[in-house]
Each structure stands twice: as C-alpha cells, then as structure tokens.
Chains A and B, each alone.
Chain A
Amino acid sequence: MTSDSPRPPPRRRFFGAWGRRELQGLFWQVLVVGIALGVIAFLWSNTVTNLSARRITTGFAFLGREAGMPIADSLLAYNPRDTYLWAFVVGVANTLRVAVIGIALATILGTLIGISRLSANWLLSRVAAVYVETLRDIPLLLQLLFWYVLMQSLPAARAAFRPVEGVFLSNRGLILPAIPVGPPQLWVLGTAVLGLAVFYLIRRWLIAQQMRDGKPRPAWPFAVGLILALPALVSVLLGVSWTIEWPELRGFNFVGGLTLAPEYFALLIALVTYTSAFIAEIVRSGIQSVPRGQWDAANALGLRRSFMLRQIILPQALRVIVPPMTSQYLNLTKNSSLAVAIGYQDVVSIANTTLNQTGQAIEAIALIMAVFLTISLGISFFMNWYNSRIALVER
C-alpha cells in the first residue's frame, strides 16, 4: 500500500449525496401532496363559484346577525332576538350539559354493571350480561327514538307518575325538587371547591411525610374541616338559605323544581344506558386483568376488603381501564349529536338550523368541527394526564 496513486474519485451522483431511496421518497411526497392540493384547489374553486352564484358571502359575519330561531330548552338565557353567535354558545352549553352529566352517570352505572358481571351470584351476573349484550347490539339512534316514544306516551301532567314524593314523570319530562342556586349559594359551593383543592394538597403532603418516616397520618380530619365545616361556616355567616323548592302542579303544567325536558331526558337515558354497556365490559376486563396472585397476596397480608380494593386491585385495574374509557367518553360526547333526531337543540342541531337559515354551510360545519375537536382534545388531554399519573412507575 505504498502506492500514492490517488483513489478514483467517488462517482458524482446527479443529486449530490442523495440515494435512490431519498429520491423515491421525495417523488412520492411531491406526488401525494400535489394530488391533495390539487383536489383541495378544485373543490375550493368550485365552492367559490357556487357560493357566488347563490349570492352567499363567505365569512363569519353572519354570527353577529339576529338568529330568530327558538331554543326550547337551554341552560343559558336565550331569546330568538339574540345573535347566531349566542345561539351557538347556547348549543355548546346544551351539548356539554348532556355530555358531562352523561359521562358521570354512565361511568357509575357501567362500573356497577361491570362489577355485577363478575359477581358470584349467578343471577346477577346473568342479568348484567343480558343487559350488556342487548344494549350493545342495537343502534343507539334506535334506542334513542324508542325512549323518546316512551317518553311521549307517558300520561299528561295531571296524571303524572309520582314514584317518590315531589318527583313527577309525565310527558312534560321529569320534574325534580331543586334547591335554587344564586350567587350566595355559589359562594358557599366555591368555598367547598377551594377546600377540596387545599385538602388535596395537604393529603399529598401527608403522604409524602408518611413515605419519609412510615408513620400513617390520617387525612380525614382535614377533609371534614375543609370540605364540610368551612363551607358550613361560610353559609351560616352569610345567612344563605338552602330551602328545597318542591314542584307543584298548577293548571296543565308544573311550577317550581327542576324540569328535565322529555328530549333531554330521553337523550340522557339513551346515552347513559348505551355507553354504560361498553363501560361495563371495560371495567370487567380491567378487573380480570389483575392477576389472581395480587388478590391472594392482599388476602394473605390480612388487609381489609375495602383497603385491598382501593390500594391493591383498583390502581392496577385502572391502568387497563383508563385508555379505552377515554374513547368511550369521546364516543358519548360525539353521540350526543344524535340529539338532532329528537329535537334537543345541541350544537349540531343549532348549526344545522343556522345552515338552513343562512346557507353558510362551510362556516356552520367548520364551527361544529371546531367545537367537537376542542372537546375531544380537552377530554383526551385530561385523560392522558390522568393516565400518566396512574401509570405503572417502573424502576
């Protein structure tokens, strides 16, 4: 190797250092993006032509105009002279009202049924299995229409069912006794929430202390003090009244109390029962995923059953439960858009009316998408945070 004759220079590639693979990659990307852009441009130019032919101006200026649509059942104050923007906000509030309460109820019911399916009692586990199988295999929309028809065939207000004193079930919906909540009551509730937050921090600190020296420190006195006693004190000091308002039948309708309109009630029942069937299966498989050895070990340590469930079984089951539960919550929220079929005015229904009234199709659909993407992202963000908190910490 003494020869100092120079090695032949590397063959120059046409595209510098790029190999065939990179070139191919570039080619495919340019092709696919080009096609996508071409399709979008084609659709866009058609849309612009069509819209100008129909004399519809694009843009969100219509949101400031008077909506003129009636909204029967709303959480926020609304009248038809309000703007489209406000109608939209009312719709979002209606969607959230059914989604949040639906998620809470479906979680409770689904967990109960999932546990029932694992019960040693043959009858209970069979009943739970039949519930799950039946509800899962029938379309939600059909169930929704079914509940709505049942709701409409209930007796009129005068002959309403009264399962419990003060509760009326009639074709006007479900009427419950309620406590009117105004600013003074909100102050007390706010104190309770604040107390809960402080309690949470204190509990974390107590657990950290226990981790250091191994001495258990009870947290419940703080819970009682911060979440119950403090708000009670505020309530007494401010002289807040907590009288229950009982609904009464006057003429053809009810006065007072809390009314769940038939549309809302039917939608809530349908969403909760349908989703609970899926949640039950998730909870069941989550509990079954905890190895038997964990139960045996907890039993061998002589732990109390409640402690065992809370500290040994549940934390392990939750790891399996939480990710699919997130997608069920998202499904429930998206399914709440079926409200449009029975005339509950959620955001999709209001967007649809807006679209029919103004012709602003693209804007209305864009708003629906924006709302649902925001809700979906919000739920997945929260659940991912929760999931990372409970995830297995490995060494």
Chain B
Amino acid sequence: MTAITDIPDAPRAARRPQMGNPVLRWLRTNLFSSIPNGILSVVLLAILAKGIFSFVQWGIANAVWLTPANDSSACRAARGLGACWAIIPEKYRFILFGTYPFDEQWRPALSVLLFIALFYLSSRRVLWRRELVYLWIGALALISLLMWGGVLGLSFVSQDRWGGLPVTLILATFGLAFGFPLGILVALGRRSKLPAIRSLSVLYVELIRGVPLVSLLFMASVMFPLFMPSGFNIDKLLRAQVAIILFAGAYLAEVIRGGLQAVPRGQYEAADALGLSYWRKHRLIVLPQAIRHVIPPLVNTFIAFFKDTSLVLIIGIFDLLTTAKTAIIDPAWQQFSVEVYIFVAAIYFVFCFAMSRYSRSLEATSGR
C-alpha cells in the first residue's frame, strides 16, 4: 500500500507545461499544440486579419456616417471605398415602420416594445402557468388596438399601411399564438384511436410540410379570393397571416406530438383510473407535462417562423425585409443596398440569436 503511494509522480510533473506566462501557455495548448495545428492557426490568423482589416477599412474608416437630408453625394464619392451608413439615418423610419403615418409611428414602436416585453415575460420560468395564456391574449389585443386604433382618440390606420418590423413580429407571433391551439388539436388527432380523425390529421400535416411556404403564400394570395363567395374580400396581410397560421399549425403539431410521446404511459393510465374524460385528462394531466417537455424545440420553431415570415416579400407584403428592399428603390440611394441589408440582417440576428441562446440555456438546464 505504502509502496504505491510512495512512488513519486516525477515523470508526470516533468511533462506538465512549464508554469510560465499564462498567455503563452494558453497559446501553446489552444493554437500551437502540434506543427500542423500551428500552421493552420497562422494561416487562419492571416485570413482573419486581412478580412477584419478590409472590413474595418470599408465599414468604419472610410465609411460615410451622416449626410445632409436626402443628399447622397458624399456616399457616391466614397463608393467602392467605404460603406454608406448614412442611408440608415436617412431611411430607418421607413425600414422599421413602412408607410405607417409618420406622426403616429410611436404606436408601432410601442407595439414592438410590447412584443419584446411579451417574449421576455414568456421566457421566465416562474410565469409558466395558465395565467401566461391570459397575458398573451391581453398583449396581442393591446397590440392590435395600438396598430389599428380607431378608439380612445387614436386615429384608425388600415392594415395596408402597416409595415416593417411590427408586421414581421405580428406575422410570427400571431402565427404562433393561433397555430399553437391548432397544433395541439392536430397532434391529439394524430395520436387519436379514431381512424377518420387520425387520417385527416396526418393528411393535413404531411400536405403542409411537404410543400414550400412560398407556394402556400401564393395560394393565399391567388386562390383565397377564388375560394370565397364573390363580393367577400379579405385583405392581403390577413390572407398571408392565415397561410402562416396553417403552416405553423402543421409544424407545431409535430413538435407537440413529440412532447405527447414523452409523457409516460402511467400518466395516461392514472388519469383514466381517476375517471377523467378525454378532454379533462389532456387539459389537466397530459398537456401541461407535454408542453413543458417541448419548450426548447418550440422556441426553435418560433425562430424558424420569425425568419420565414420574410417570405411574404414574394407576395408583396410590407414586412421588414420588403421595406428594406423598397427603401433602396430610391434612385439616389440605389447603390447602397448592401448597407441596408446588413442593417436589417442585424435586427433579425439580434432577435434570433437571443432566442436561440435562450433555447440552448433551457436545454442545458432541463436536465431535470
């Protein structure tokens, strides 16, 4: 026993990296652990340095930050050398809010803040209970009120004048809010023992998931008027919203079905043993557990919707991407689309990155 513990750890100690400068030590283990690794690091560093240097030169050093209103001459002079960020202060109101009446644009701005507050509150674990549903209903009603107006001294703004970031948020969030109950029903239908209901649910999910969203949007914009009795006409934004809800319903159904499958059989059997009816069994016992299971994939699905709403550009609805694309039609600023796209990409990125970070932290802590 003693013989073993007495053996000194000398060879290991010798191989241990020298207790030198911690920076050098870090460099050695992480960048220069072997010769090929060292070469790779140097090459990568060189490429990165060159890339960052030219981006700084273009995006910061030679960039034009501000110009007098509606005058792009300074930008034209710097074209090819530096970025024209001046287009952003020039156009940001249009990009963010579209053709919403200029003096009333505090209303969409407030709506965006309400959306962010709603997302933030929904992310708090403490608030994951039934009351969250009322919070969503209240917030969405308030946002509709703000955007439409027509009461409380707010002037009425028709939805064909809505545009920009609020429209993107509305399409994604209402898509989720209405697609979610639909998804629950379809997921239950798919697991139902009743053959007719099961096959209807499967048909719906597979048909919607099998075709691109673009074709659903085309359908909403072209075929919807054909489907309705003549004289009955609903507006383009609402039609796209319906298409997105139907699309969301199919994808959410699959996510929720995953959660339903994760609920142990014993839970179903216990609920049956208590004599609960089908609906009470699901409402009180099964769904609360199933939904908790699928919150991370639910967030990921929401990120996907948030990005996918940009496809409404193709049918001419003024979401954030469409307003950006329209802003650069202006001949004076036509050549500076890259800057506008970077600006809009940054907005999308902030939302999606925050949500994906959140979903990952949930996955990490949901070790139960």
Chain A residues proximal to chain B, CB less than 8 Å: 25, 28-29, 32-33, 36, 43, 46-47, 49-51, 53, 120-124, 127, 133-134, 136-143, 145-146, 149-150, 153, 334-335, 337-338, 340-341, 348, 351-352, 355, 361-362, 365, 368-369, 372-373, 376-377
Can you show 12 pairs from A to B with CB atoms below 8 A apart?
A36-B200, A43-B227, A49-B230, A120-B33, A121-B40, A123-B41, A137-B352, A139-B310, A150-B338, A335-B212, A355-B218, A365-B215
Contact B226 A362, beta carbon cutoff 8 Å: yes
Question: Is the CB of B329 closer than 8 A to any CB of chain A?
Answer: no
Taking A340-B214, A373-B210 as given, write out 6 further A-B residue pairs in contact, using a Cβ cutoff of 8 Å, ordered by the A residue number: A46-B226, A127-B44, A136-B352, A143-B345, A334-B211, A368-B212
Known A139-B308, A142-B348, A355-B222; contact A124-B212, beta-carbon cutoff 8 A:
no
Could you tell me the distance between the alpha carbons of A361 and B194 in the complex, rounded to whole angstroms?
34
Contact A341 B223, beta carbon cutoff 8 Å: no
Residues of A within 8 A of B341 (CB): 142, 145-146, 149
Query: Which of A122, A140, A335, A373 has the most chain B CB within a 10 Å cutoff?
Result: A122
Contact A376 B353, beta carbon cutoff 8 Å: no
Contact A372 B215, beta carbon cutoff 8 Å: yes
7 A-B pairs closest in CB distance: A122-B30, A137-B352, A334-B212, A139-B307, A337-B212, A29-B196, A139-B310
Could you tell me the distance between the alpha carbons of A217 and B335 in the complex, rounded to whole angstroms?
64
- The distance from the CB of A380 to the nearest CB of chain B, in whole angstroms, is 10
Question: Is the CB of B344 closer than 8 A to any CB of chain A?
Answer: yes
Could you tell me the distance between the alpha carbons of A32 and B199 in the complex, rounded to whole angstroms?
11
Could you tell me the distance between the alpha carbons of A145 and B324 in the complex, rounded to whole angstroms?
11
Contact A337 B325, beta carbon cutoff 8 Å: no
- In-complex Cβ contact of B337 among A140, A149, A377 (8 A): A149
Residues of A within 8 A of B210 (CB): 369, 372-373, 376-377
Question: Is the CB of B207 closer than 8 A to any CB of chain A?
Answer: yes
Interface string of B172-199 (1 = CB under 8 A from A): 0000000000000000010001111100
Could you tell me the distance between the alpha carbons of A149 and B338 in the complex, rounded to whole angstroms?
7
Known A29-B194, A137-B356; contact A47-B227, beta-carbon cutoff 8 A:
yes
Contact B211 A368, beta carbon cutoff 8 Å: yes
Contact A29 B214, beta carbon cutoff 8 Å: no
- The distance from the CB of A282 to the nearest CB of chain B, in whole angstroms, is 13
Could you tell me the distance between the alpha carbons of A348 and B218 in the complex, rounded to whole angstroms?
9
- The distance from the CB of B194 to the nearest CB of chain A, in whole angstroms, is 5
Known A137-B349, A341-B313, A362-B223; contact A348-B356, beta-carbon cutoff 8 A:
no
Could you tell me the distance between the alpha carbons of A202 and B218 in the complex, rounded to whole angstroms?
50
Residues of A within 8 A of B348 (CB): 137-139, 142
Contact A32 B45, beta carbon cutoff 8 Å: no
Question: In chain B, what residue has the closest Cβ to A32?
Answer: B197
Question: Is the CB of B321 closer than 8 A to any CB of chain A?
Answer: yes
- The distance from the CB of B344 to the nearest CB of chain A, in whole angstroms, is 6
Could you tell me the distance between the alpha carbons of A102 and B227 in the complex, rounded to whole angstroms?
36
Contact A137 B353, beta carbon cutoff 8 Å: yes
Question: Is the CB of B228 closer than 8 A to any CB of chain A?
Answer: yes
Question: Is the CB of B229 closer than 8 A to any CB of chain A?
Answer: yes
- In-complex Cβ contact of A138 among B37, B214, B345 (8 A): B345
Interface string of B214-226 (1 = CB under 8 A from A): 1100110011011
Question: In chain B, what residue has the closest Cβ to A121?
Answer: B37
Could you tell me the distance between the alpha carbons of A146 and B348 in the complex, rounded to whole angstroms?
14
- The distance from the CB of A43 to the nearest CB of chain B, in whole angstroms, is 4
Residues of B within 8 A of A25 (CB): 193-194
Residues of B within 8 A of A362 (CB): 223, 226
Question: Is the CB of B271 closer than 8 A to any CB of chain A?
Answer: no
Residues of A within 8 A of B109 (CB): none
- In-complex Cβ contact of B211 among A32, A142, A373 (8 A): A373
- The distance from the CB of A293 to the nearest CB of chain B, in whole angstroms, is 21
Contact A47 B338, beta carbon cutoff 8 Å: no
Residues of A within 8 A of B41 (CB): 121, 123-124
Residues of B within 8 A of A153 (CB): 335, 338
Question: Is the CB of B311 closer than 8 A to any CB of chain A?
Answer: yes
Residues of A within 8 A of B313 (CB): 141, 341
Residues of A within 8 A of B228 (CB): 46
Question: In chain B, what residue has the closest Cβ to A56?
Answer: B226
- In-complex Cβ contact of B223 among A120, A134, A361, A372 (8 A): A361
Residues of A within 8 A of B44 (CB): 121, 123-124, 127
Could you tell me the distance between the alpha carbons of A43 and B224 in the complex, rounded to whole angstroms?
9
Question: Is the CB of B127 closer than 8 A to any CB of chain A?
Answer: no
Contact A47 B314, beta carbon cutoff 8 Å: no
Residues of B within 8 A of A373 (CB): 207, 210-211
Known A50-B225, A121-B41; contact A142-B33, beta-carbon cutoff 8 A:
no
Contact B214 A134, beta carbon cutoff 8 Å: no
- The distance from the CB of B45 to the nearest CB of chain A, in whole angstroms, is 7
Known A47-B226, A137-B356, A149-B338; contact A369-B215, beta-carbon cutoff 8 A:
yes
Question: In chain B, what residue has the closest Cβ to A375?
Answer: B210
Contact B31 A122, beta carbon cutoff 8 Å: yes
Could you tell me the distance between the alpha carbons of A132 and B33 in the complex, rounded to whole angstroms?
25
Contact A133 B353, beta carbon cutoff 8 Å: yes
Known A29-B196, A121-B37, A338-B311; contact A348-B215, beta-carbon cutoff 8 A:
yes
Contact A145 B40, beta carbon cutoff 8 Å: no
Known A334-B211, A372-B211, A373-B211; contact A32-B200, beta-carbon cutoff 8 A:
yes
Could you tell me the distance between the alpha carbons of A29 and B189 in the complex, rounded to whole angstroms?
10
- The distance from the CB of A84 to the nearest CB of chain B, in whole angstroms, is 17
Question: Is the CB of B48 closer than 8 A to any CB of chain A?
Answer: yes
Contact B337 A365, beta carbon cutoff 8 Å: no
Contact B325 A138, beta carbon cutoff 8 Å: no
- The distance from the CB of B41 to the nearest CB of chain A, in whole angstroms, is 5
Query: Which of A134, A355, A369, A377 has the most chain B CB within a 10 Å cutoff?
Result: A369
- The distance from the CB of A317 to the nearest CB of chain B, in whole angstroms, is 20
